[in-house]
Amino acid sequence: MPISFDLDELRQRYDCKVYLETGMWDPRGEVSLRKALRCSFDKVYCIELRDDWVALGNQVFNEDVQCNRLRIIHDDSVNLYKHIGSNPDFSQRSMFFLDAHVDNSNIQNYQKKCPLFDELEAIKQISRNDNIIMVDDLRIITQPFPWGETIYGNIDFLKVIKEKILEINPEYKFMYLDGQIPNDVLLAYI
């Protein structure tokens, strides 16, 4: 989804070498993945469930895919750990942009409409616990049952997200960045 903050400034400030995004969106637009590729990350990853966007992303970003700077993973982000757990790239300080969710399109074969808790659990399991974590779409997350996700009951998603991030490292601090609207992205940093 579109972001309105300077991603490269954040990369420099927190000295991140790797970027991983969950959920691509339409790669033909000015999406966050495109902005990440303009930054000086050593490696960029994206995990996306939709077949059509994976194929289109591999086409649109072909040069970065061919030189092995970008890896587009065709999978559900509830399976994130299997892609980062033993991957040596994630021993470096990484930036995670969590934006996977089922929207009103024709996505099928998903396990959860809002896999944020699974994504955070995957990040928690890797050895490094000072990564930068961003969560997009707070305007939706702060509403009851974001994206129609009912399996957790009527919980305060933002509160639980912050608690799960603090389980990764209790030293995390939080601030808000502009995304599609002002203060639409949660930034967790150390």
Kindly report, residue by residue over 140-170, the tens digit of the pLDDT: 899 888 777 788 888 999 999 999 999 999 9
Model confidence pLDDT, tens digit, residues 11-61: 999 999 999 999 888 888 878 899 999 999 999 999 998 888 999 999 999
Percent of the chain with pLDDT over 70: 92
Cα 24 to Cα 26: distance, rounded to the nearest angstrom: 7
**What's the total number of domains in the chain?**
1
- List the domain range (segments joined by +) for residue 101: 7-189
pLDDT at 162: 98
pTM of the full predicted structure? 0.92
Pairing of the two strands 43-48 and 132-135: unpaired
Domain-embedded: residue 65? yes
142 is a domain residue: yes
Distance CA 51, CA 164 (A): 30
Cα 150 vs. chain centroid, distance in angstroms? 21
